[in-house]
Structure 1
Amino acid sequence: MTRQVLLDHLGEVEAAALLVNGRLEDLLLDGVDVRPGAIYRAKADRPMKGQGGVFLSAPDGPLFLRQIKGLKQGETLLVQVNARPEPGKAPAVTQKVLFKSRYAIVTPDAPGLNISRQIKDEALRDTLLEIAHDAMEGSAMGLILRSSCAEADADDIADDVLAMRDLAQNVSQDTSGAPDLLVEGDGPHALAWREWQADEVITEPGSFAEHGVLEEIDALQRAKAGAMFIEPTRAFVAVDVNTGGDSSPAAGLKANLACARGLARQLRLRGLGGQIVVDFAPMPKKDRRAVESALRSAFRADPVETTLVGWTTMGHFELNRARLRVPLSEVL
C-alpha cells in the first residue's frame, strides 16, 4: 500500500490530499472562519437563558460555550474551538483545552501518562512510557502518546512532547488580560503533517493536477456517488440510496452495503458534518444488521468523530458527525 501526501492549493485556498494507491482517501481545505483547535483567552458575557450556554467575547467575534455552571459574567477563561461554526452561528468552544501534535497530546486538566491502545507491543509501550516520564517530569499536566509513535524515532517523540509541554504551560498561565487569540488552529498542511502517515510527501505547486486530484474533486461536486445521492440541506445532509436498473431480489441489500462501506469516505472528502439522514433502498428488516455492521466498520476507521444514532420509525438511518471540515461546496 502506497500512501502519498500532496500539499497544494485550490486557487488561493490551502489544501492537502491523501492518496492511497493513487486513490483520493482524504482531503483537507482551509476556510475563512475560525479553525478548530484555536485557543482563545475570552471573557464571559451574559448567560443565554434557554440555550444552555453563554456567549464569550473574543477578538475574532463571539464564541459559544455550553456547560457554564459556576461561570460569572465578566470572568476570563481559556477555551478551544472544537467545531466549525454553522452559517450565521458563533463557533462552539470547550474549556477542555488540548495541545495536540504529531506524536503527543498534552492535557492540562487531565493528569496521567497514557499510550495509545493501538500500540500493542509491550516492549515498545514500556519504552514510550519511559520517554513520557522523562519529558513530563515535574509537570502536573497529562500526556497521551499517539499511535504514530510506533514508527517514530525516540528523540523525535521526546522533542515533540517537550514542545507541546512548553506551549501548554505558557498558554495555561496566560489567563489575564483582554480577550486574545493565543494559539491558531492548524491549517491543512500542518494537519496533514500531524495526522497522516505517508511514504511520500509532494509539495510542488500543481501536484493536484499532476496526480489526478482535480478530476476527483470535480466528481465530488456531483450529488451522485455510485448508488448514493448526497445532498446537503440547511437542516441536515440527505443521502438517498437507489438500486438503479438492478431489479434482482438482493438489489436493495447490495446497494445498501455499497453505500454503508463508502459513505464515510464520501462525507470525509466532501467535508460534510452535522446530522446525516440515510434513506436506504428497500430491503428486508433482517438485513439491517448487516448494513449497520458495515457502517460501524467504515466509520470506525474514519478520523472524524461520528455517532451512529440508529434506525428511525420510517426506516431511515441517522448519524451525527462532528463539524470539523470545510465543506467542499464552500471553496469551489
Structure 2
Amino acid sequence: MIAASVRESLVRIGLLHGDELAEFYIWNRTAPDGVGDLYTCRVDAVEKALAGCFLALGSELTGFLPDSAGGKGLSVGQYITARVTRAPQGGKGPRLTRDETDAGDAPGLLSRGPGPLLDLAARFPAETIVLDDYALMAELRPALEGRMRYHAKAFDPVLEDEIAALAEPSAPLPHGARLHITSAPAATLLDVDAAAASHMNPMALNQVIIPEICRQIVLRNLSGGLLIDFAGLKAGQRQKLLPALRDALRRDPLAPNLLGLSHLGFAEVNRRRIRPPLHEILHG
C-alpha cells in the first residue's frame, strides 16, 4: 500500500509492505525538488576539467550537464533542453541530462517532473493509494484513476510515531543497539552503538542489525558516500559482514554499490543522489 497524508503544502508519502514502512518521501508542492523537471537552458560555461558544462535554467538557477549525459560538444551561448536527474542538494545545483524536446528562446521551466508520489505509484502499479485529502485526489485522478481510496487517517498513530522519529539523528536497532547518523557534505557516517546489547556476541549482533541499517538508509534517503561503523569487531572480522550487507542493499530501490572496507574498518557504500536527503528537507 502507498499512503499519502497532506499537511498544508506538504505531502508525506509512505510505501508500506504490510505493517512495515519501506520507503518515505516528503513532497513540497509549493517548492518541489525538481527531479524530472524539463528546462530550456543556455550554455553559460564549458568546463573541460569537470567534463561538462554549466547551464542557465532561468531565475538565477544553474545546473550541471556532464559530457556523459549530453554535454559534449556544446558551446557557450547555445540553447538546448535538459531534464533534472538530481535535485539541488548539499549546496550544489541540479544535475541534468540532455533532452531532445525543442528549446525555447529563453532559459526557463517547460514542465514539472511527476514528483515522488507519482514516481512511487509508477514503480508499484499494483499498490492501492490511500490519501486523506479530496483535493489532491481530484488533482491526481487523471493519472491514478481507480487506484485511490480516501481515508481520514492515511497514517495510523504507530506510523506517525515512526515518521516523527525519522527527524532524529539516531535510530533504534534490534536488541537495544542504536544507530547514530552524522551527515557532512562529503559523506555520512552511520555509527553502531551496541552498549545496550553488550550481552550479545558482536558478530551475531552486527549480522542481525544489518537489514534495519539498510532500511534506515532508504527511509532517510541517505545518499552519496556512506560509511558504516559496525560495533565491536576488528577489521578482519568485519569482512565477514560484507555478504549480508551486500544482500540487504539489493533491496534498495537505488541499487547502491558496496565498495568494501576502508583502512579504518568502515563499510563504504556509494548510493546515488537523486532527491534530497530527508534531513535537508526537514532542517534545511
TM-score for both structures, normalised by structure 1: 0.68
Matches within 5 A, 1:1-332: 4-31=1-28, 32=31, 34-48=33-47, 50-60=49-59, 61-67=61-67, 68-95=71-98, 97=99, 172-205=100-133, 206-210=152-156, 212-222=158-168, 223-226=170-173, 227=177, 228-247=179-198, 251-332=201-282
Aligned to 2:215, the other structure's residue is in SS state helix
C-alpha distance in structure 2 between counterparts of 1:290 and 1:45, whole Å: 49
Distance 1:39 1:199, change over 3 A: closer
SS in structure 1 opposite 2:260?
Answer: strand
**Displacement after TM superposition at 1:288 (Å):** 3.3
Q: Structure 1 residues 19 and 34, CA, compared in 2 at 3 Å: closer, same or farther? A: closer
**What is the CA–CA distance in structure 2 between the aligned matches of 1:10 and 1:266, rounded to whole Å?**
23
**Where does the alignment leave 5 or more consecutive residues of structure 1 unmatched?**
98-171
RMSD: 2.4
Where 1:240 maps in the other structure, the secondary structure is: strand
**Structure with more of its chain in strand, by fraction:** 2
- Between the aligned partners of 2:153 and 2:274, the Cα distance in structure 1 is 25
TM-score using structure 2 length? 0.79
Offset from partner CA, 1:122-147 (integer Å, 9 cap, x none): xxxxxxxxxxxxxxxxxxxxxxxxxx
Q: Partners of 1:198 and 1:69 in 2: how far apart?
A: 40
Q: Deviations over 1:199-247 (max 9, x none)?
A: 5321224534436321111222221331322222233211001222444
Structure 2 unaligned regions, length at least 5: 134-151
Task: Give the length in aligned residue pairs.
Answer: 253
After TM superposition, give the deviation of residue 313 of structure 1 in Å. 0.9
Q: Is the Cα contact below 8 Å between 2:203 and 2:233 reproduced in 1?
A: yes
CA distance in 2, matches of 1:80, 1:237: 27
2:32, 2:115 within 8 Å by CA — same for their partners in 1? no
| Displacement after TM superposition at 1:259 (Å) | 3.6
Give 1:181 deviation, angstroms: 2.3
CA 1:242 to 1:181, structure 2 compared with 1: closer, same or farther past 3 Å?
same
Amino acid at match of 2:262: T
Q: Residue 28 of structure 1 contacts residue 325 of structure 1 at CA under 8 Å; is this kept in 2?
A: no
The amino acid across from 1:73 in the alignment is V
CA distance in 2, matches of 1:41, 1:84: 17
Deviations 1:27-82 (A, max 9, x none): 12124354222222211112236433321011251111122432111122222211
Residues 276 and 319 of structure 1 are in contact (CA less than 8 Å); yes or no, is this contact kept in structure 2?
Answer: yes
1:135-184 CA-partner distances (Å, limit 9, x unpaired): xxxxxxxxxxxxxxxxxxxxxxxxxxxxxxxxxxxxx3413532232331
Does the 8 A contact of 2:186 with 2:225 survive in 1?
yes
Give the number of the structure with larger relative contact order, counting CA–CA contacts within 8 Å between residues 6 or more apart.
1
For structure 1, which segment, 291-300 or 193-202, has the greater mean C-alpha deviation from structure 2 after superposition?
193-202
Letter in 2 for 1:64: F
The 1:173/1:13 distance shift into structure 2, 3 A limit, reads closer
What letter is aligned with 1:236? A
User: Partner residue of 1:127?
Assistant: none
Change in CA separation of 1:297 and 1:274 when aligned onto 2, cut-off 3 Å: same
C-alpha contact 2:33 2:275 (8 A) present in aligned 1: no
2:16 & 2:219 partners in 1: Cα distance? Answer: 12
Distance change in 2, residues 1:10/1:289 (3 Å): farther
Other-structure match for 1:108: none
| Structure 1 stretch displaced more, 198-207 or 210-219 | 198-207
Which amino acid is the alignment partner of residue 317 of structure 1? A
- Distance in 1 (CA, whole Å) between partners of 2:20 and 2:206 is 22
